[in-house]
Amino acid sequence: MKFLKKIIFFYYREYKLNMSGVQDILTNIVFFFLSIFIFIFSIGPDKETISTVGVAIVWTLLLLSSTLSLRKFYQDDFENGNLLIIHLNGFSFGFITILKTFSHFLFVQVPFLLSIPIACILLNIPNDKLLYLFTSFGIGSLTLSCLGSISSSMNLMNQRNFLLGSVIVMIFSVPIIIFSVGIINMEQNFNSLINILFGILLIVFAINPWASGLCLKLSIENN
């Protein structure tokens, strides 16, 4: 019971932190929509072309804009010492990463999930494909959160090269992009592709606590 209370307090703290910096999340979403506008300006306003490449554009931009806020994943808590305090309160590093991953999913990825329908209207994506986009992004965004946790915990002690974290996420997200964009184009294959996406999610979800927990431990020991 005490443990559950601690978890609830953890999420309450995350909620407070994210709400005090709500402009960051909104800036991410503005970045997302602005890049859609820029894409349309560069492709040209032809309806046919836009609706064929629309899903790919949405997925690419979701990936890019969710990597923007990776810097804040562990960095603030690491620098002001909260990470160590949470660990001293009885959470193992692996468990902290799981909690943090869900918090990132809730406070950074879910706003994107809500802004997908508007993007679909802008990009002329038909309504019946919206369901596929939602399911694939619902699974894929959790995978992206796990990858973000791995890469940002790797880069805690990296003081020089800030872009490296985004590059690491992008290189591991290649299979997710391939299969999730494939879902929209192959509707009769829907179930099998969803299974593949789930498989990737489970693999990454299993690696995540191990890899990022080890990195967190290393950074705290060597700081």
Partner 1 sequence: MKFLINPSKFNEIADYIFKPVLVLSILLFGLGLLFSFYLSPDDYQQGSTVRIMYVHVPSAWLALLTYAIMTFYSIVALAFRIPFGFIFNTAVAPIGAIFTLICIISGSLWGKPMWGTWWVWDARLTSVAILFIIYLIIIFINLSFENRVVREKVVAIFVIVGSVNLPIIKFSVDWWNTLHQPATISKLAKPSIDPSMMTPLIIMTFAFMMIGVAIAILRIKTEIISRKSNLS
211 forms part of the interface with partner 1 (CB under 8 A) = yes
202 near partner 1, judged by CB under 8 A: no
Asked if residue 207 binds partner 1 (CB under 8 A), the reply is yes
Q: Are 67 and 145 in contact (CB under 8 A)?
A: no
Give me the 101-140 binding string for partner 1, x by CB under 8 A, dash otherwise: ----------------------------------------
Stretch 149-178: interaction string toward partner 1, x if CB under 8 A: -x---x--xxxxx--x--xx--xx-x----
Residue 201 CA to residue 214 CA, distance in Å, equals 20
Tell me if 28 sits within 8 A of 66, measured CB to CB: yes
Q: Kindly state whether residue 73 participates in binding partner 1, applying the rule CB under 8 A.
A: no
Angle at which helices 130-154 and 110-122 cross, to 10°: 130
Does 216 help bind partner 1 (rule: CB under 8 A)?
A: no
Residues of 135-165 as b/e, b for ≥16 C-beta within 10 angstroms?
ebbebbbbbbbbbbbbbbbbbbeeeeeeeeb
User: Distance between CA atoms of 106 and 87, rounded to whole angstroms?
Assistant: 22
Binding of partner 1 by 214 (CB under 8 A): yes
Q: Does 26 bind partner 1 (CB under 8 A)?
A: no
Phi, psi of 21 (to 5 degrees): -110, 45
Choose the binding region for partner 1 from 19-27, 103-111, 132-140, 214-222 (rule: CB under 8 A). 214-222
Closest contact distance (angstroms) between CB of 136 and partner 1 is: 20
CB of 210 to partner 1, least distance (A): 9
E-strand ranges in the chain read none
Which residues contact partner 1 (rule: CB under 8 A)? 150, 154, 157-161, 164, 167-168, 171-172, 174, 203, 207, 211, 214-215, 218-219, 222
